[in-house]
A = this chain, B = another copy of it.
């Protein structure tokens, strides 16, 4: 067996344990009763430690050196590059820190599920202090090893190849035109009226509607499922993708589009190269590219007139007793493109969303770089919300800094992916339109040409290319904000 083959076998083994963790993690969020958490957290911490041991196995260094001397195809070279990168990121963190962060994160996240509802910042803060402390330790170790700032080192876990300097360029661009655009759109929309959902939309019917929409989006139900959790996510493994939503019987609008969003993540996973299943090069390219797929589904396709026309028809089938004007294409279009300065990121519209992300980016960057304390966060949140969106979150933790799951288990550096994803999605759509009649495909109800383009240019590539190479090959240029700006202007003005 060559050194390269030995490495592949090792990473395949590692992927089997990641598989078990992905399913048990999904279960923890979607199925597990509360009393099961203590034992589950211990088991998950043990697994995280074991995965970390495999990812940092001492023989890997020599095997990488030997594999570099072997004749490899370009695909194998990409495989080696991804394995080495994941090895470098894993080896710098000591075992006890990995286990401590996993335990503290599980504990904090689990308690947060009830604490958020109770607006209990005091309780949350006590658990979160340790999560922040351990995340800062992690970031400092990573920064020393790679010669970056602590925050940039965390950023690279989710978005390899980017850094605060380039985010500052992209986000500064957005800041030059976004506030004006939001105000212009608010002015334009002030004369439009929407019918808001009223009455009851039973969970069973919402779920049936969601499943119909997933079929329209060609979700493969032989390799995945739809369930419920407090915070919607896409989990599981590529051969068995688990997406979740949460239902509110007072309305169906949020959950329905949430399902469209998660289906975008899911189809990326389902479309990854099967021959590389379990291999680092067979995985999704980055969190930003992952989000580009969910936002391509949710924003580029999902909020198009043609798609909302389908949603309108399906919603009328499932909510036969509801106001038909509420469910009309025009009204749903207005509901789904209504711009509003509001508190909650996951409920935010396409236009104000970047403001939510930039706020989080600035806070987590300063927190992880050690420039602020975790107890400063509520006040900073309040200040920035007032500056960017004119809203105060004073004493309103549940709708302020306690609203997201990400920070509860230390996923600092993740938030920028959302706005990067929106930018990638707009750039992909512009490129796709050069060869695909997107409006026609959506109108016909057979979206296959759209999915074929995504499968060819994004999904099937896994991590064989770097992010810059992927975007360059798919769109002819690297990421910039102009397509995003054009998209927003064209849709909202």
Contact = CB atoms under 8 A, between A and B. Distances in A.
A13 interface: yes
A43 B19 contact: yes
A250 to B, nearest CB: 22
Contact of A33 (B36, B224, B277): B224
Contacts of A38: 239
Interface string A46-78: 110010000000000000000000000000000
Nearest to A26: B27
Interface string A18-44: 011101100100011111101110110
Interface residues of A, number: 36
A239 B35 contact: yes
A40 to B, nearest CB: 7
A20 to B, nearest CB: 5
Interface in A445-482: none
Number of copies of chain A assembled together: 2
A355 B224 CA distance: 42
A191 B277 CA distance: 64
Interface stretch (A88-96, A113-121, A215-223, A391-399): A215-223
A47 B43 CA distance: 13
B31 A225 contact: yes
A20 B24 CA distance: 7
Contact of A277 (B39, B237, B277): B39
A305 interface: no
Nearest to A31: B225
Most buried by B among A23, A35, A225: A23
A16 interface: yes
A125 interface: no
Nearest to A278: B39
A228 interface: no
Given A23-B23, A23-B24, A23-B27, A16 B42 contact: yes
Give the dominant DSSP class at A's interface. helix
Nearest to A13: B46
Contacts of A43: 16-17, 19-20
A34 B20 CA distance: 17
A237 B13 contact: no
Interface string A238-256: 1110000000000000000
Contacts of A236: 36
Given A31-B225, A46-B13, A239 B39 contact: yes
A485 to B, nearest CB: 41
Contacts of A36: 223-224, 236-237, 239-240
A254 to B, nearest CB: 25
Contacts of A35: 220, 222-223, 239-240
A328 to B, nearest CB: 31
A266 to B, nearest CB: 12
A43, A47, A224, A236: residue with the most chain B Cβ atoms closer than 10 Å? A43
Nearest to A27: B23
B32 A240 contact: yes
A221 B32 CA distance: 10
A60 B225 CA distance: 42
Contact of A20 (B13, B33, B47, B222): B47
Given A32-B240, A35-B239, A240-B36, A16 B220 contact: no
A31 B27 CA distance: 10
Interface in A309-340: none
Contacts of A19: 39-40, 42-43
A21 B225 CA distance: 20
A62 B237 CA distance: 40
CB-based closest 5 A-B pairs: A36-B240, A35-B222, A16-B46, A19-B43, A35-B223
Given A23-B27, A39-B278, A40-B239, 15 more contacts: A16-B42, A16-B47, A17-B46, A17-B47, A17-B50, A19-B40, A19-B42, A19-B43, A23-B24, A24-B24, A34-B222, A35-B240, A36-B240, A39-B238, A39-B240
Interface of A: 13, 16-17, 19-21, 23-24, 27, 31-36, 38-40, 42-43, 46-47, 50, 220-225, 236-240, 277-278
26 contacts: A16-B43, A16-B46, A17-B43, A17-B46, A17-B47, A19-B39, A19-B40, A20-B21, A20-B24, A24-B24, A27-B27, A31-B31, A32-B240, A33-B221, A33-B223, A33-B224, A33-B240, A34-B222, A35-B220, A35-B222, A35-B239, A36-B239, A38-B239, A39-B238, A39-B278, A40-B240
